[in-house]
A and B are shown apart, each in its own frame.
Chain A
Amino acid sequence: MSQEVTDADFKQQVLEADGPVLVDFWAPWCGPCRMVSPIVDEIAQEHAGKLKVVKLNTDDNMQTAAQYGITSIPALYVFDKGEVAKTIIGARPKPALEKELADYIG
């Protein structure tokens, strides 16, 4: 299971991180989020060291979700140097996600 981040430590864990960070915006009530979550964990494990992967529960951390205009989940955002570098909306199979993230895990 990847690390959980919150409104309180989002800046430190994500925006101020050294390398790119993939944030999985999810919520407990969202079926597709539950499906994509283990795939994100696998990608995190297989590419540990290249791409930091964290999860943000939008139910408990509405401030961050609102700040980035999240209106559909699952939403996977890559942050690089504090900026949004890539957005992937909706659940995708693993090969499709790996393709989308090729710049960061290739």
Chain B
Amino acid sequence: MTDKQLVIIGSGPAGYTAAIYAARAGLVPLVIAGSVTAGGDLMTTTEVENFPGFPEGVQGPELMESMRAQAERFGAEVLYDDVETLHIEPRRHRITTALGAEYTATAVILATGSAYRELGLAEEKNLSGRGVSWCATCDGFFFKDQEIAVVGGGDSAVEEATFLTRFAKKVSLIHRRGELRASKAMRQRAEADPKLEFVLDSEVTAIHGADKLEGLTIASTADGQTRELPVTGLFVAIGSDPRTALFAGQLDLRPDGYLVVEGRSSRTSAEGVFGAGDVIDPVYRQAITAAGSGCVAATDAEHYLSELSDSELNTKEK
């Protein structure tokens, strides 16, 4: 069992920014980064064009690598392991990891991010890795000159669809509504892309194929009319849900599942536990807002720890 002042769970922009601030404040934070998820969602994106300070854009993995290096430079310790249990107990939160490490932490920052949503259709899991994919940058290459589909209408769906036209012969972008939610810049790029076809007001109701994906059934959300779309690839980008399994039941969550924090702070319902990034943010969910909230959490944790040590000193003096 190792005692830590501050443990940060998660290593996306929120986790690493919290680590940079906490490390510079001399807290020597431990970042439990995840064994295969370190760096968070940006590890599976390509070009990030809207992170300030990079006028030519920056590759997602490269940005995360830089954040990690910056945190380590100031003394943060990064552990490539997964938190298995978290017991919230004021001033002595207990953490165990998948590889068997045990820690206690006076303060904890939860930057656990979000997990991709699934369509919830039969065959979705069976055909995962047989045509159904959640990572365009990993798998796009395998669909060279094929006809494929992307489901979703937000920024990540449109970005994936545009990226996939580099490889695929044709990409159908399927979205439930008549209009995409993606930003204007993304939409305009997509609309100008000759290989991209918009299938709006439509949803996927069935996935077909035995050993590999062969096609989809698409239903109109307007009149329910169905049709078949033969595709060999399906990329699902219908949003994500906050990852809260570690602490659900121990901390207050909103009805929609997000971790509750107090006002503009990062303070959760438990003493010494702070939230940052996508897990507390149902609205903005950008790398830069996550980074900003990581800074807030580190600042709150620092205040908490210094007040705690002040009051402990006072108690001892009396």
Contacts and interface: CB of A to CB of B under 8 A. Distances in A.
Q: Is the interface of A mostly helix, strand, loop or mixed?
A: loop
A49 interface: no
A29 B62 CA distance: 12
A33 B138 contact: yes
Nearest to B44: A31
Contact of A93 (B60, B82, B143): B82
Interface in B132-147: 133, 135, 137-139, 141-143
A36 B35 CA distance: 8
Interface in A65-106: 65, 69-75, 87, 89-95
Contacts of B131: 71
A40 to B, nearest CB: 11
B143 A92 contact: no
B36 A35 contact: yes
A39 B36 contact: yes
Interface size class of A (residues with CB under 8 A): 20 to 34
A30 B98 CA distance: 24
B37 interface: yes
B84 to A, nearest CB: 9
B130 A71 contact: yes
A89 B138 CA distance: 12
B129 A93 contact: no
Contacts of A30: 135, 137-138
B39 interface: yes
Contacts of A35: 35-38, 43
Contacts of B61: 31
A94 to B, nearest CB: 6
Interface string A38-82: 010000000000000000001100000100011111110000000
Contact of A94 (B60, B99, B138): B99
A39 B35 contact: yes
A93 B63 CA distance: 23
Contact of B139 (A39, A59, A71, A95): A71
B113 interface: no
B143 A71 contact: yes
Contact of B142 (A36, A70, A93): A70
Contacts of B82: 93
Interface of B: 35-39, 43-44, 60-61, 82, 98-99, 128-131, 133, 135, 137-139, 141-143, 211-212, 232-233
Interface of A: 27, 29-33, 35-36, 39, 58-59, 65, 69-75, 87, 89-95
18 contacts: A27-B141, A30-B137, A31-B43, A31-B61, A31-B137, A32-B43, A32-B44, A35-B37, A35-B43, A39-B35, A39-B36, A65-B142, A70-B129, A71-B133, A71-B139, A72-B135, A75-B129, A90-B129
